[in-house]
Amino acid sequence: MKPDSGPKGIGRRGLLVGGFGGLAAGGLVSGLSVDAAHREREASAGSKIAQSHYEFYDQPHPVGVSTIPQQYSVFMAFDLTLATAQDLQVLLARWSAAIDQLMQGNSIGQVEPEHEQSVATDTGEALGLGPNNLTVTVGFGPGMFDGRFGLAAKRPKKLAKLPKFSSDRLDPAVCDGDISLQACADDPQVAYHAIRDLARMARGSATTKWTVMGFGKASAQGGQETPRNLLGYKDGTRNVSTDPDHEKFVWVGDDDVAWMRGGTYQISRKIQMFIEIWDADRVSDQNEVFGRFKVSGAPLSGHAEFDTPDFHAKGADGDPVIPVNSHVALSAPENNGGVKILRRPYNYTDGINSDGQLDAGLHFLAYVNDPQHFITLQDRLGASDMLNEYIAHRGSAIFAVPPNPARGSFIGRELFG
């Protein structure tokens, strides 16, 4: 395509005639140089992100949990079809070796085999893209410990199917699973490639049960600016962020089975948002639903996003400034015995539903060292959260996420002997 010769509405002749034309031309040249420099800086930053990577082996905690959230996520849950514990070990060992290669930005085998009749080991769509901060997180569902593989005695003490909450409208097609994989990366094709090739490796051993593709991380960690969910509100302002809070609320300690020490429990909830209904509501009501101002993210009792909410503040009418059944009030640690959970959700969209409405929402992912913390919060939210008028919980699952393996081992190795 022919490059743009200048701003629209100014012809070549106009740039060349008269003193004003000369000044204009000089200004444009300068502007183009600045723009080119800006593009060069963006390209350089993009290249650094593309080549940035995390390590898989020899980490004290599972990757993709306290890791600074990447821009894209692909989550897939499987049901196991293999027959023996030995078969399961082989799958987990092959996955571990492949995950390490993928997180380095490498292929997991030949993309174009020498023999033209051979099937490629790696599907190839991530060639040249770089690792892009890819992380792959593996979770074990309750079904893995149901006796099929002789692992009942190794079942994590707190791993049990989540109860049904009062606001649930669950679809079994997007619930539960024996094992989960989540790939997160700063390039959507890198994340998709990882899950695609790992799922391909599992053929004959597991079947895909459900999947969610996420974008635009919906909660901040590690000093990131707080992103927004699809309802337009900042999400995760008071998220777990300090090492002491991670130790207290996220990482499993000595009170569970030995192989889970340093790991965590992963809660998955697929939450549909009734976007058209929400968009028709006045913003003042939306603010009360969340208990925060839409633009600034500040609590209704404050002025800035990170102001601590004052749940005792009263308005001129004598009512609480932050409604007692607002989302913030019901989920705040001050109102739940200090309980916190680590949020790491992603927005999702599945296009248009059968009613012609936008099928979109939040793939809510939380990490806790005690699932009861999430259950306590969701019991309160499910019973009286003002937000329930605009959302429906469609999917629900829980997985135990072990710490990453040492090099030379594989994820979950301690389960087998």
SS3 per-residue string spanning 331-380: HCHHHCCCCCCEECCEEEEEEECCCCCEEEEEEEEEEECCHHHHHHHHHH
Return the number of other C-beta atoms located less than 10 Å from residue 390's C-beta.
Answer: 19
Burial class (CB in 10 A: 0-12, 13-18, 19+), 38: exposed
Q: What is the pTM of this model?
A: 0.88
pLDDT number for residue 358? 93
C-alpha distances (whole Å) from 46 to each of 32, 133, 279 are 21, 12, 34
d(CA 346, CA 362): 6
Burial class (CB in 10 A: 0-12, 13-18, 19+), 62: buried
d(CA 153, CA 307): 47
Question: Is the alpha carbon torsion for 116, 120, 126, 128 positive or negative?
Answer: negative
pLDDT number for residue 351? 93
pLDDT number for residue 115? 85
- CA contacts within 13 A on the Cβ side of 226: 20
Which helix (H) or strand (E) covers residue 328, if one does? helix 327-331
User: One digit per residue, pLDDT tens: the chain, 417 residues?
Assistant: 333 333 333 333 333 333 333 333 334 444 445 565 555 555 566 678 899 999 999 999 999 999 999 999 999 999 999 999 999 999 999 999 999 999 999 999 999 888 888 899 999 999 999 999 999 999 999 999 999 999 999 999 999 999 999 989 999 999 999 999 999 999 999 999 999 999 999 999 999 999 999 998 877 666 778 999 999 999 989 999 899 999 999 999 999 999 999 999 999 999 999 999 999 999 999 999 999 999 999 999 999 999 999 999 999 999 999 999 999 999 999 999 999 999 999 999 999 988 899 999 999 999 999 999 999 999 999 999 999 999 999 999 999 999 999 999 999 999 998
pLDDT number for residue 9? 38
- What distance lies between CA 364 and its chain's CA centroid? 8
